[in-house]
């Protein structure tokens, strides 16, 4: 079950599913797109803040810090944009670009992990997880897998794109009355509707 964390995409405190949180690293403000993964440190911070959303064992596996290279940041942004297009296709019930499907499937296959037995204390055998790649590639693979399962499962039907003016975020409709990514977007949409009605009602 996802842990509740405060994120940029949901100020109510309820986290979106992992792939939606990742998609929402691209947002908009005052009519311009805002890149939430502008530098490696942005992705390092995002991974640290969202590690509770990753399936166990998460990519950080208890490590306090993760280092992201410029090339890994580039891979993350390409995957993020792919995730956005695939979620949009699911929301709009449109056929996806086959390249996007192939890309997310490839990202999903980029890391394998397995448990190994660590038995030093005779009374307390333990397990550690090893994986075939670095923590960042592991994280991107887990995001891709989460997206595959989300899009292919029943929950995929509850994905939405926020229709508030200028908003580019996605959300998961946790409850039937949820219509916006945030209460702020709901307010802006109501104001825009009110102004539109006033314009229509105004005498020429
Ligand atoms: Zn919104």
**CA 116 – ligand 1 centroid, Å:** 44
Q: State the Cα–Cα distance between residues 31 and 19, nearest whole angstrom.
A: 24
Query: In the chain, where are the structural domains located?
Result: 18-201
pTM of the model: 0.86
Q: State the Cα–Cα distance between residues 185 and 180, nearest whole angstrom.
A: 6
**Residue 191: what pLDDT?**
84
**Residue 64: what pLDDT?**
64
Sequential DSSP letters for 122-155: TT--EEEEEESS-HHHHHHHHHHHHHHHHHHSGG
**Residue 59: what pLDDT?**
79
Tell me the pLDDT tens digit for each residue of 145-203.
Answer: 999 999 999 999 999 999 999 999 999 998 888 889 998 999 988 887 777 777 766 65
pLDDT above 50 for 11: no
Tell me the pLDDT tens digit for each residue of 96-135.
Answer: 999 999 999 999 999 988 999 999 999 999 998 888 999 9
**CA 135 – ligand 1 centroid, Å:** 31
**CA 127 – ligand 1 centroid, Å:** 42
Architecture of domain 18-201: Orthogonal Bundle (1.10)
């Amino acid at each position: 079950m996802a842990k509740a964390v405060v994120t940029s995409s949901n100020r109510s405190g309820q986290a979106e599913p992992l792939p939606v949180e990742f998609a929402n690293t691209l947002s908009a403000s005052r009519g311009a797109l805002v890149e939430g993964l502008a530098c490696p440190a942005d992705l390092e911070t995002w991974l640290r803040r969202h590690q509770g959303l990753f399936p166990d064992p998460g990519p950080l596996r208890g490590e306090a810090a993760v280092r992201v290279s410029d090339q890994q940041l580039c891979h993350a942004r390409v995957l993020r944009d792919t995730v956005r297009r695939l979620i949009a296709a699911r929301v709009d019930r449109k056929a996806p670009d086959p390249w996007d499907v192939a890309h997310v499937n490839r990202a999903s296959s980029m890391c394998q992990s397995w448990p190994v037995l660590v038995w030093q204390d005779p009374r307390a055998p333990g397990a550690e997880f090893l994986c075939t790649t670095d923590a960042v590639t592991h994280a991107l693979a887990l995001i891709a897998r989460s997206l595959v399962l989300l899009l292919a499962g029943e929950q995929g039907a509850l994905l939405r794109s926020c229709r508030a003016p200028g908003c580019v975020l996605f959300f998961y409709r946790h409850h039937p009355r949820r219509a916006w990514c945030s209460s702020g977007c709901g307010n802006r949409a109501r104001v825009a509707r009110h102004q539109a009605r006033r314009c229509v009602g105004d005498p020429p």
